[in-house]
Structure formats: structure tokens, C-alpha cells
Amino acid sequence: MDENKKLNFNPHDHVLVPKHTKISEEEKQKILQQYNVSLKQLPKILRLDPALQNIEVQKGDLIKIERKSPTTNKAVVYRVVV
């Protein structure tokens, strides 16, 4: 992963990488309540994931991912940082 920092481009710009944004603590609780889930039940993303290299994240943060979907145009999913 360290090697990746040498790359002179941001993985975010790549066609395969959807938009990743960090969710605020307040909104995080709202989302968890809305879907009636705990953090443990959500899909995970590694803290060192290349797509997160420009976002400051900590373990337990919630990442909002806006994918382009062939079935619904835009799909929003969440991943927990581990």
C-alpha cells in the first residue's frame, strides 16, 4: 500500500472507483437507526484501502459509497472502516 502513494494520480478519478465520502457521527447514528442495523452487520472496507487515501478515516467510521448501478442508475451503499 505504501508504494501506492508514489502514484501520481488519485484512485478516485478512475472509472472503476465510485465516490467515497465519510459520514459524520451524527448522520451515522441516523443511518444506523433508519436501517435498524449495527455497525457489525454492515460490509467492511480496509483502513488502508487505496480509495480512502485522500480521506482521513479511523476504525469504526462509516463510508458512504455512491455506485453507478446498471439497474438503478445510482446506488448508495455503506461500508464500515476496519
Residues that bind another protein (CB under 8 A): 1, 3-4, 7-9, 11, 13-18, 20, 43-46, 49-52, 65, 67, 69-74, 79, 82
Q: Which of residues 24 and 68 has its CB atom nearest to another protein in the complex? A: 68
- CA gap 71, 55 in Å, rounded: 29
Q: Which of residues 22 and 50 has its CB atom nearest to another protein in the complex? A: 50
> At its nearest, how many Å lie between another protein and the CB of residue 60?
13
> At its nearest, how many Å lie between another protein and the CB of residue 24?
21
- CA gap 36, 10 in Å, rounded: 34
